[in-house]
Amino acid sequence: MHIMEKPNVTPKNLLAVAREAKALVALAFRNGPIEVVHAGKACPTCFGNPEYSHITQEEMRSIMKAAVDRMYTYLLMKESDKAAYDTLLSFGEKYTKAWDEPTLTKAIRGISNSSPK
Per-domain boundaries in the chain: 12-37+55-93
More confident residue, 47 or 26: 26
Predicted confidence (pLDDT) per residue in 63-106, tens digit: 999 999 999 999 999 999 999 999 999 999 999 999 999 987 77
* HSE-up of residue 63 (Cα within 13 Å, Cβ side): 16
Contact status, residue 91 vs residue 11, Cβ threshold 8 Å: no
Cβ atoms 7, 111 nearer than 8 A: yes
Q: How far apart are CA 77 and CA 85, in angstroms?
A: 6
The pTM of this model reads 0.70
